[in-house]
Amino acid sequence: MIELGDIYKVVVAMTPLYVALVLGYSSVRWWRMFKPDQCDAINRFNCYFIIPFFTFQFTSGVDPYTMNFHFLAGDVVAKAIAATASALLGKMHGHGDLDRRIEQLMECKPLSEAEVKIL
């Protein structure tokens, strides 16, 4: 059973993340502190430096020999599907704009239950 203390711990742990997200969104949307080219530079910095760095930090601290085999197999399959989809997308669209491709992928959403029933 989930207790009130557990919910409190989750809220306390997530609050700094959401405060940073709200401040970042507000600084671009309403306060106009950053221009679009500066936002692109920040996004590229995250894409090419921050995400790989933290991925390596997380991966280096995990002991795969103590993990569940099904979890590891599912992770390998998911990464293979993502790599195959990325390769196919790259082949289909040729040498397009990387930012546009990422934007198209971010616009994808799963079907709702009503849409699945229609199919």
Domain count along the chain: 1
Query: Domain residues for 116?
Result: 67-119
Sign of the C-alpha dihedral, residues 74, 10, 51, 64?
negative
Q: Is residue 32 part of a domain?
A: no
12-60 tens-digit pLDDT: 999 999 999 999 889 888 998 988 888 888 888 888 888 889 888 888 8
Reported pTM: 0.46
> Do the beta carbons of residue 24 and residue 34 sit within 8 Å?
no
In a domain, 15, yes or no: no
Q: Which long-range contacts (CB under 8 A, 24 or more apart) does 43-48 make?
A: none
